[in-house]
Amino acid sequence: MANKMTSKVFVAVLGFFGIAMATLPAEAQQASATTAIPVIFTHTLKAGKDKQGEPIVAKTLQNIVLPSGQQLPKGAVLKGRIVASRAFVFDPTPYVEQKPSVLSLRFENASTGGQSIPLRLSVRAMASPQETADALTVRYKDENDFVGTKTLVGGDVFATKDTVVRSAERDIVAYVRKDGVYARLLASTNQNADGTIRCDATSTEQAVGVFSPHSCGLYGYESAFLSNDGKDSKGVFTIESTHDTVWIESGSSAFLQLID
């Protein structure tokens, strides 16, 4: 009889904890497999000059928790390789379709605490050094504005002493935490010369760094476009231009995302 009672109590306890786990917010259970990783490039990359196989380096803009539970602190190093690199060469033939300059990249791992963590990443958005610097800079309306605001890449805004980020329509779209800005990412699309890049929503809160939750595509790259975001090509993402040589200056930022 005692054994039967013990079994019933054990099952009841398991059931209680099962219900408790099921009702926990998704953020508290585990980071999403679509974890976002905002980074900043530490070196300039130029198509044609920097060759296939050469290394690329970027650093995280916020603390990141991976689906495995491993943590990447702010400033953790991401490394990868150049997959394709071609400069732009103007073809003067009348009415000819110009052959684009191409720069394809793939991030392969993150380094932290002497450990290398393999990663497969796509890119949601990228921003030029100017766009990135603007998002990191506090702007003041006038001499009576002692608080100032920051405008994320994509246009969402927050006061430096506030805890919420608002869209142009004044909707709350993100939250300012102690170590950065976090949001549930929003679905968005970017139409470019090579088709449409689609950025999916997430049901879990992600680190966004300098980016708005809806950011998708390139910002501050006037003559270039994102022809491949890497989701369907093993993490290889590609920037092209039919007007100039593609290059990514040091200080540019990227909104990366783990591939399921």
Q: How confident is the model at residue 68 (pLDDT cuts 50, 70, 90)?
A: confident
Give yes or no for residue 193 having a pLDDT over 80. Answer: no
Phi, psi of 130 (to 5 degrees): -65, -45
The token duo for 50 is: 């920097």
User: Per-domain residue ranges for the chain?
Assistant: 1-30, 33-258
pLDDT of residue 46: 98
Q: How confident is the model at residue 14 (pLDDT cuts 50, 70, 90)?
A: very low
Give yes or no for residue 194 having a pLDDT over 90. Answer: no
Give yes or no for residue 32 having a pLDDT over 50. Answer: no
The 8-class DSSP code of residue 37 comes to E
Instruction: Read off the pLDDT of each residue in 95-111 and give the average, rounded to a whole number.
Output: 95
What percent of the chain is modeled with pLDDT above 70? 87
Give yes or no for residue 9 having a pLDDT over 60. Answer: no
Give yes or no for residue 6 having a pLDDT over 50. Answer: no
Instruction: Read off the pLDDT of each residue in 239-253 and give the average, rounded to a whole number.
Output: 97
DSSP string of 3-67? HHHHHHHHHHHHHHHHHHHHHS-HHHH---TT-EEEEEESS-EEBTTBPTT-EEEEEESS-EE-T
Q: How confident is the model at residue 33 (pLDDT cuts 50, 70, 90)?
A: low
Q: How confident is the model at residue 10 (pLDDT cuts 50, 70, 90)?
A: very low
Q: What is the pTM of this model?
A: 0.84
pLDDT of residue 163: 95
pLDDT of residue 102: 98
pLDDT of residue 11: 39
Instruction: Read off the pLDDT of each residue in 87-106 and give the average, rounded to a whole number.
Output: 95
